[in-house]
Amino acid sequence: MKKTLLPTISFFLLSWWASTDSLAGNDLEKAIFAGGCFWCMEADFEKISGIKEVVSGYIGGTAKDPTYNNYGKSGHIEAVQILYEPSVISYADLLEIFWLKIDPTDKDGQFCDRGHEYSSAVFYLSTEQKKMAAESKTLLDKSGMLQEPVKTVIRIAGEFYPAEDYHQNYYKKNKLRYHYYRFRCGRDQRLEDLWGEKTDRTKIFKKTSKYKIPGRDELKKKLTPLQFEVTQNGGTEPPFRNKFWNNKKEGIYVDIVSGEPLFSSTDKYKSGTGWPSFTKPLDGAGIIKKVDNSWFYIRTEIRSGYADSHLGHVFNDGPKPGGLRYCVNSAALRFISKNDLAKEGYHIYRTLFQN
């Protein structure tokens, strides 16, 4: 990996592991993805709830025990091995995250890093992973979201060789150098070009999503008229006369339509606007941003990733250090108390409320 200007998709070759193995007594499963610079892939995936460990390494070549100095010569590429908790995040979810973190149309590398060793691939570890990866790739290819065909390959996984300690958690140990590289490599700029304003991008993956999205007719029966108007038609509820604007209880807020986790009370603050306001979404929340000029001036709309529900808007007048205010309609949310997280299937978020 040429780290002068350093910057993911692929599935790779050789003998495969079963992803349903129990690891060290824990019900964890493995996934392997290649998306260019493994520093960036590790940083992107480690922030996702349900992922226990991300290891940078090399895979796909012919030599044993490759090193940073020779892995490219033997045909290996940079990749990450992910250990995840399938009861919290599914392999289908990981595939969705993977596509949105890479340039699937680039067959000769990723971003500023060129050559086979930076190519993208999905390395499957079981027949089920192979099937799901192929289906997900097909859905993306047919979605019309990309102007070119998907070039990322799907290959059987061979032996994965962890990279040197220096490369593990590089984005934490060398923050300035990492952020400088990532910016100069143009990774985030290219990702914004590919996915940034396409609000319906996650509709590509609804067939593999764990969140169930009812049809419009079913939603009319399930939701109140106000909830339907807000989430489906982009409506706005009255300030100070809504359910959660002054809610001080501890817990998380999920999409009223799909149940996908969106915000936490730990990031909620009193904005004085009369609507629930948050400084940021939950880590891993698939919040989508869209330009909205419906009120004769430009605003940034926010929508949920899976259900594509209208949530509200995000503004630049929030508290420091982030400076953002996610202004959300109560009608788009369901609140789950910290004491009910396990019962409701959101046990991964209990750590947010542990002192």
Mean pLDDT over 343-355 rounds to 83
Structure tokens that stand for 301 in this block? 């709309």
pLDDT tens figures, 285-316: 878 888 877 766 788 899 998 888 999 999 99
Model confidence at 330: pLDDT above 80 = yes
Cis peptide before 321 (omega within 30 of 0): yes
Q: What is the per-residue pLDDT for 336?
A: 96
Q: What is the pLDDT of residue 24?
A: 36
What value does the mean pLDDT of the chain take?
85
pLDDT at residue 199 is higher than 90 = no
**Residues 338, 135: Cα–Cα separation, whole Å:** 36
Confidence (pLDDT) at 205: 52
Catalytic residue list contains 112: no
> Kindly report the CA angle at 319 between 318 and 321, in degrees rounded to 5?
115
pLDDT of 235 > 70? The answer is yes
For residue 127, give the amino acid letter.
Answer: T
The per-residue pLDDT for 15 is 26
Alpha-carbon distances, residue 8 vs 23, 222, 245 (angstroms): 26, 39, 41
Query: Is 22's pLDDT higher than 70?
Result: no
Q: What is the 3-state secondary structure (H, E, C) of 40-61?
A: HHHHHHHCCCCEEEEEEEEECC
Q: Confidence class of residue 85 from pLDDT cuts 50, 70 and 90?
A: confident
Whole-structure pTM value:
0.56
Closest CA to 202 of 306, 304, 97, 281: 306
Known active-site residue 327: yes
Lowest mean pLDDT among 77-91, 131-145, 224-238: 131-145
Residue 47 pLDDT:
79
Marked catalytic residue, from 40, 112, 185, 327: 327
Which residues share a beta bridge with 289? 302
The model's confidence at residue 16, banded by pLDDT at 50, 70 and 90, is: very low
Closest CA to 304 of 262, 353, 251, 348: 262
Choosing from 37, 40, 112, 185, which is the catalytic residue?
Answer: 37
Q: Which domains does the chain have, with CATH numbers?
A: 29-195 (3.30.1060.10), 251-353 (2.170.150.20)
